[in-house]
Amino acid sequence: MTDVVTGAGARRVNLHAALNEGVWDLLVIGGGASGLGTALDAATRGYRVLLLEARDYAQGTSSRSTKLVHGGVRYLAQGNVALVREALYERGLLKRNAPHLVHDLGFLIAAYHWWATPFYGIGLKLYDLLAGRLNLRASRPVGAAEALRGIPTLVRPGLKGGVLYFDGQFDDARLAITLLRTLQNFGGVALNHAPVLGLVQEGGQVRGARFRDEETGQTHEVRARMVVNATGVFVDEVRRLERPDAPALLSPSQGVHVVVPRRFLPGGHALMVPRTDDGRVLFAVPWHDRVVIGTTDTPVPGVGAEPRALPQEVDFILETAARYLSPAPGRDDVLSVFAGLRPLVKSGGRGETKSLSRDHTLQLSEGGLLTLTGGKWTTYRHMAEDTVNRAAAHAGLPARLSLTRGLKLHGACAEPRPAPWQVYGTDAARVQALPGAEVKLHPDLPYVEAQVRWAARMEQARTVEDVLSRRLRALLLDARASLEAAPRVAELLAEELGQDHAWQAAQVGTYRALAQGYLLPSPSAS
């Protein structure tokens, strides 16, 4: 396996490949968890695969998760044992296949009632059993002293102890980029900033797509034996390119997270609140030396590229956290707030979104458009395998078994590395060899200039947002610091991509407008 062409010419090479390699076996629309996973599964089977992403890889829901690779404790409480078993199995596989991106994390359920420890302890023993031989570590009850060692900021009055269990943690956008790199290693072609404008239909069958290259404004057409719609919350928009009157599949909801300094959750454990006032669970999770707290579940009437947190969602998160953490974070402590949309499949009834299935759904239209939606990051690999099986059978492709259960993802390495190098795995030394490996982008961020160069050369980063939001996670870790780093990032990107000063200025302006939405308004402005 060799690296793809790098630097300013890489996009031209990818675009040329997309347009000049004849009819693809599979065209995947969408570059999030579902789309990247599907494209990779197909490429590893030897199918010829092209992926088109309208904006950037994982720009939507797939970069806005709670950063957990987990079975879903609350799905167990809902009685969805099959989904939990599948997710726990996939959690174990993902830790094996991407050890540089997935690690164990202890989660504490704090007990303030005498019955809480045995009640949750029994449920979590079942969670362990469902994981089988791929279980991470066994759950166990802990006393108040041990609970405080794990989370020293727990509210102490009434604390009786709790239950400690283990799940996986990861960096969602970095996993997406790792899937991209692995896809390229297997000969797949992918283009970001290439929105699909229409579907090519012949004899009532979908046979390809028309897309626009956002960098040139030119429109192109590609052909494929099978087209997969894996666009997350936007699947209904793509379905209506084939059939304008297609009824909606989704009932989307919004989940919000706030990011605060690490001092609010020192120690080695995450906090899991098993039942909030709205019947959800809430997590406070250490991540990249910050703390991510969330999430909410708010039905939304429509979908957009940049969902925004509602004031009441932020208040709900902070008020819930304050019941368990002392000192508790307030609005002035929030470094960033981000919202993501869940592609929840309609149930046919009028139930609340929190009760809708998190399992995935496949729908094949009369014209042969295969739509994949629903699901969650943890089960992306299984979703992809199902999708490629269905696509290959419908398109009459040679039957080949999926190889992804044991496939080590690009850079896979169990050797721990310090921040910010861990996410690169075996590529870390190559990133560190680039100019600027010792020059930080901002005093309050862990990132260095060499990472921007690597993002442009090897990871298809085309904009300041691509770099600061997803190749690096600066926008989520500290939105204000990322704003201050944006001019230097634009300068470095311009150098790598052959852009001029006007492009730099436009990029910085666009990023500033975006990042403002990740900052809470000051009290005087609200």
Q: Mind spelling out the 3-state secondary structure of 190-204? A: EECCCCEEEEEEECC
Residue 359 is predicted with a pLDDT of 76
Mean pLDDT of 270-287: 92
Note the pLDDT of residue 389: 97
How many whole angstroms separate alpha carbon 127 and alpha carbon 112? Answer: 22
pLDDT of residue 345: 87
Q: Which of 392, 386, 416, 422 is nearest to 404 (CA)?
A: 386
Predicted local confidence at residue 3, as pLDDT: 47
Arithmetic mean of pLDDT, 88-94:
96
Average pLDDT over residues 47-68: 97
Backbone region of residue 193 per phi and psi (left: phi > 0; alpha: psi in -120 to 50; beta: other values): left
Confidence of residue 304 (pLDDT cuts 50, 70, 90): confident
How buried is 220 (Cβ within 10 angstroms: 0-12 exposed, 13-18 middle, 19+ buried)? Answer: middle
CB contact at 8 A, 384 and 404: yes
- How many other CB atoms are there within 10 angstroms of residue 401's CB atom? 9
- At residue 7, the pLDDT reads 64
Geometric angle at alpha carbon 179, from 30 and 21, rounded to 5°: 65
C-alpha span between 61 and 80 (Å, rounded)? 23
Q: What is the pLDDT of residue 522?
A: 65
Residue 116 three-state SS: helix
Query: Residues 52-64: what's their mean pLDDT?
Result: 97
Q: What's the confidence (pLDDT) of residue 352? A: 45
> Which of 2.30.29.30, 3.50.50.60, 3.30.450.40, 3.30.70.260 would CATH assign to domain 7-61+174-249+354-406?
3.50.50.60
Lowest mean pLDDT among 24-33, 322-331, 348-357: 348-357
The whole-angstrom separation of Cα 355 and Cα 77 is: 11
* Average pLDDT of span 489-515: 98
- For the chain, which residues make up each domain, given as ranges? 7-61+174-249+354-406, 88-169+251-348, 422-516
Report pLDDT digits (tens) over 208-262: 999 999 999 999 999 999 999 999 999 999 999 999 999 999 988 999 999 999 9
Answer yes or no: is pLDDT of 487 > 70: yes
Largest CA distance in the chain: 71
Please check the confidence at residue 357 and state whether its pLDDT lies above 60: no
**Using CA atoms, how far apart are residues 89 and 135, in angstroms rounded to an integer?**
8
Q: Which superfamily, per CATH, for 88-169+251-348?
A: D-Amino Acid Oxidase, subunit A, domain 2 (3.30.9.10)
Question: Tokens standing for 326?
Answer: 């002392």
Kind of pairing between the strands at 219-229 and 336-342: unpaired
pLDDT-derived band of residue 302, with 50, 70 and 90 as boundaries? Answer: confident
- Paired tokens of 471: 């190749």
* Rounded Cα distance, 183 and 39, in Å: 7
pLDDT for res 77 = 78
Mean pLDDT score of the chain, rounded to an integer? 94
Question: For residue 1, is pLDDT > 60?
Answer: no
- For residue 410 the two structure tokens come to 């690009």
When pLDDT is cut at 50, 70 and 90, the band that residue 353 belongs to is: very low
pLDDT in tens, 442-484: 999 999 999 999 999 999 999 999 999 999 999 999 999 999 9
Query: How far apart are the C-alpha atoms of 457 and 29, rounded to whole Å?
Result: 23
Indicate whether 137 pLDDT > 50: yes
Residue 351 has pLDDT above 50, yes or no: no
Q: What is the CATH number of domain 422-516?
A: 1.10.8.870
CA angle 410, 411, 413 (to 5 degrees): 130
| Confidence tier at 523 by pLDDT (50, 70, 90) | low
Write out pLDDT tens, residues 358-395.
578 999 999 999 999 988 999 999 999 999 999 999 99
pLDDT > 70? residue 2:
no
Q: What integer pLDDT is reported at residue 358 of this predicted model? A: 55
Residue type, 175: L
420 cis-preceded (ω within 30 degrees of 0) = yes
- Structure tokens, 387: 């999708």
Q: What is the pLDDT of residue 73?
A: 87
Read off the DSSP letter of residue 362.
Answer: E
Summarize the confidence of residues 164-190 as an average pLDDT. Answer: 98
Q: How much is the pLDDT for 264?
A: 98
- 3 state DSSP class of 460: coil
pLDDT score at 74: 82
CA distance 81 to 73: 10
Tell me the C-alpha distance between 198 and 191, whole Å: 16
Q: What is the pLDDT of residues 101-133, one digit of tens each?
A: 999 999 999 999 999 999 999 999 999 999 999
What pTM was computed for the model? 0.96
Query: Is the distance from CB of 208 to CB of 221 less than 8 angstroms?
Result: yes
> What SS3 state is found at 60?
coil
Q: Which of 448, 353, 338 is nearest to 59 (CA)?
A: 338
